[in-house]
Amino acid sequence: MDSLLQQLGHVSAVIGAQWGDEGKGKAIDILSGHFDVIARACGGANAGHTIVVGGKKHVFHLLPAGSLHEGKTVILGSGMVIHLPTLLEEIALLRKNDIDIIPRLLLSDEAHIVFDYQKEVDAVMEERRSQKSGGKIGTTKRGIGPAYMEKAARTGMRLGDLHRFFRDGGDLRSELAWRNGFVGALFSVSLNVEQEARNLEDAYEILKDCIRPLPSLLDVMEGRRILIEGAQASLLDIDHGTYPYVTSSATTVAGALQGLGLAPRLLSSCIGVAKAYCTRVGSGTFLTEAKGDADNRLRERGGEYGATTGRPRRCGWLYIPDLVFSARLNGFTNWNITKLDVLDEEDIIPVGMGEENGKVRYEELPGWKKSTVGITSFDKLPENAQHFLQFIETKTGVPVSLIGTGPGREQMIIK
């Protein structure tokens, strides 16, 4: 671990290389103990990051997966869109585990608020999309797209605005009434003004001291070791992903730095996280999607059901050009290849190498047909598993430094 930490340096980001759910949360949890500040930068409760500690499962949507580590400062950055009742639920859940995160939680006053009505708008827009060719995106219906739409339209409400309403005597209800007219005209959705107001009031009561201006967050981060928890993943990026089947935020490391207000030159490393195979939840292209038996096998062995929506994830094989693309976009310095154990029973492991005449060209690597569950040293891996990982290194030019061999915190090889 020590030599990896030295390589990672002071400011490191953990970024998904595929379509999400690669296992970013687990890497963050393992590394968090060695950093001072753990930060989410973009996205919202569309993320679902699962960690397993002592056999117990914890799922994070807004708080970073490193939040279990006592004493670490936790930041939710300016690029995020935050549904406050969901945040309060997560805080309460931690409290049930005897963790009071409030004294070490900092929220950028520039982060946008996700309203309940924006979840309704999300659903209405999906329904309308289903009436055109191309169909639905398959969003998480967490109001993410509509919240970023309002951010871009400059009608969004930010956390800092709550001071205006609850501290400085601003008129929240007339603001919400205006909002009602605005979304009513565009989407035939109406606000439950009293419910929305209560959501904000309840949250402000608990969070008012956590909401800080960006310069003070930058002061907190200055000179400290920062671990940035990416959410979603590179192929879901609003600009560089498989548009329109993407999320509404910039999911690459550049987006994360922008979301936190950190100068790009401060970044010292970026870990790309990829499954040893590939999954996608929601619609959109997936060239190496497996059919029939293999799809089901991977789903059942990998427990591939969404942490946020419970939807079965589409399963398939690695596609090297996507990994190379993600590595270039983010400047990955290291790989965390996760869920190697899920491939333990495969006879052969197809790896997509590119497209020829409209068909994917596969290279078939031999399986290892032995359990890798819980192995913590590279040398103990079956030879074919080592070969598989070396293949990824050679084809992408990025060293594999972390290898997941099970969902548990301790089930990781650190090379």
Q: Provide the binding-site residues for ligand IMO, judged by CB under 6 A.
A: 16, 19-21, 46-49, 137-140, 142, 144-145, 231-233, 236, 247-248, 281-282
- Torsion, Cα 171 177 181 183, to 10 degrees, reads 90
* CA distance linking residue 330 with residue 25, whole number of Å: 18
Q: How far is the CB of 389 from ligand GDP (least distance, A)?
A: 13
Nearest 5 degrees, angle CA 55-CA 277-CA 233? Answer: 80
Binding track, positions 165-194, relative to Mg ion; x by CB under 5 A: ------------------------------
Least Å from the CB of residue 63 to ligand IMO:
13
CB-based contact 352:335 (threshold 8 Å): no
Q: Nearest 10 degrees: CA dihedral of 237, 41, 409, 47?
A: -50
Contacting range for Mg ion; rule: CB under 5 A; set: 68-76, 120-128, 307-315, 392-400: 307-315
Q: Which does 64 bind (CB under 5 to 8 A by kind): Mg ion, ligand GDP, ligand IMO, none?
A: none
Longest Cα–Cα distance of the chain, Å, equals 68
Q: Which region among 16-24, 82-90, 147-155, 330-338 touches Mg ion (by CB under 5 A)?
A: 16-24
- Whole-angstrom CA distances from 18 to 24, 65, 84, 326 are 11, 19, 28, 8
Helix locations, 52-154, DSSP H: 84-96, 116-129, 144-153
Least gap, CB of 307 to ligand GDP (angstroms): 4
Q: Kindly state the smallest distance separating residue 299's Cβ from ligand IMO, in Å.
A: 14
Binding partner of residue 404 among ligand GDP, Mg ion, ligand IMO, none, CB cut-off 5 to 8 Å per kind: ligand GDP
Report yes or no: 315 and 298 within 8 Å, Cβ to Cβ: yes
- 232 and 239 in contact (C-beta within 8 Å)? no
Residue 156 or 230: which CB sits closer to ligand GDP?
230
The least CB distance from residue 14 to ligand GDP, in Å, is 9
Toward Mg ion, which CB reaches closer, 112 or 280? 280
18: exposed, middle or buried (Cβ count in 10 Å: 0-12, 13-18, 19+): buried
Q: Are the beta carbons of 43 and 81 closer than 8 angstroms?
A: yes
Taking CB atoms, the residue at the shortest distance from ligand IMO is 282
Nearer to ligand IMO among residue 278 and residue 375 (C-beta): 278
Peptide bond into 64 cis (omega under 30): no
Q: Rounded distance, CA 377 to CA 414, Å?
A: 7
Comparison of 65 and 191: residue with beta carbon closer to Mg ion? 65
Closer Cβ to ligand GDP, 48 or 284, answer by number: 48
The angle, 0 to 180 degrees and rounded to 10, between the axes of the packed helices 172-187 and 193-207 is 130
**Nearest to ligand IMO of 10, 129 (CB atom):** 129
Give the residue numbers marked as catalytic.
21, 49
Binding-site member from 11, 14, 18, 21 for Mg ion (CB under 5 A): 21
255 binds, among ligand GDP, Mg ion, ligand IMO, none (CB under 5 to 8 A by kind): none
Residue of this chain nearest to ligand GDP (CB atom) = 404
| Cβ atoms 63, 74 nearer than 8 A | yes
- Indicate which single residue of 23, 48, 145, 316 sits in contact with Mg ion (rule: CB under 5 A): 48
Q: How far is the CB of 207 from Mg ion (least distance, A)?
A: 24
Interacting residues with ligand GDP (CB under 6 A)? 16, 20-26, 48-50, 52, 303, 307, 338-339, 341-342, 404-407
Query: What is each CA distance from 217 to 39, 76, 83, in whole angstroms?
Result: 11, 10, 21
If one asks whether residue 23 binds Mg ion (CB under 5 A), the answer comes out as no
Residues 6+ apart with CB under 8 A from 160: 109, 110, 211, 213
Cβ closest to ligand IMO, residue 12 vs residue 18: 18
**Distance of closest approach, residue 42 Cβ to Mg ion, in angstroms:** 14
**CA pair distance 219, 225, nearest whole angstrom:** 13
120 is a site residue for Mg ion (CB under 5 A)? no
